[in-house]
């Protein structure tokens, strides 16, 4: 007989309990509202796949520079295996 143990708390709760990383502190202090307003332009053309959220892309680019990643390939690889960076 197998007994499945329930999680005590979710991944999001575990991340909230951790001390904030340098990247999180920097992203939290920056105000992206004017930048996102300029980048987010409603497109009348509804073809193609849905784009990634603008805020998530901006956070990824900032993390890329803070972690000294030189290429987008390095960023994609890091986002693939690092759940903490993906969560930010």
pLDDT at res. 71: 92
Is there a domain that residue 68 lies in? yes
Is there a domain that residue 59 lies in? yes
* pLDDT tens figures, 9-52: 787 787 777 777 788 888 888 888 888 888 776 666 667 677 78
60 neighbors 79 (Cβ within 8 angstroms)? yes
Is there a domain that residue 34 lies in? yes
Is there a domain that residue 72 lies in? yes
Structural domain range at position 57: 29-40+52-88
Q: At residue 62, does pLDDT exceed 80?
A: yes
pLDDT > 90 fraction of the chain, expressed in percent and rounded: 12
Q: Which residue, 62, 61, 42, is CA-closest to 51?
A: 42
Average pLDDT score over the chain: 81
Q: State the total domains in the chain.
A: 1
Give the CA distances from residue 70 to residues 16, 44, 64, 67, 75, in Å, rounded to whole numbers and listed in that order.
29, 34, 8, 9, 8
Is there a domain that residue 3 lies in? no
18 neighbors 26 (Cβ within 8 angstroms)? no
Which helix (H) or strand (E) element contains residue 22?
helix 22-29
At 1, the pLDDT band (50, 70, 90 cuts) reads low
Is there a domain that residue 80 lies in? yes
């Amino acid at each position: 007989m197998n007994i499945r143990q329930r999680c005590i708390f979710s991944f999001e709760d575990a991340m909230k309990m951790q001390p904030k990383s340098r990247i999180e502190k920097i992203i939290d202090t920056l105000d992206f509202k004017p930048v996102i307003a300029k980048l987010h332009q409603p497109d009348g053309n509804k073809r193609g796949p849905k784009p990634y959220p603008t805020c998530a892309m901006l956070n990824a680019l900032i993390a890329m520079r803070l972690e000294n990643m030189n290429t987008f390939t390095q960023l994609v690889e890091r986002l693939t295996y690092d759940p903490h960076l993906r969560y930010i």
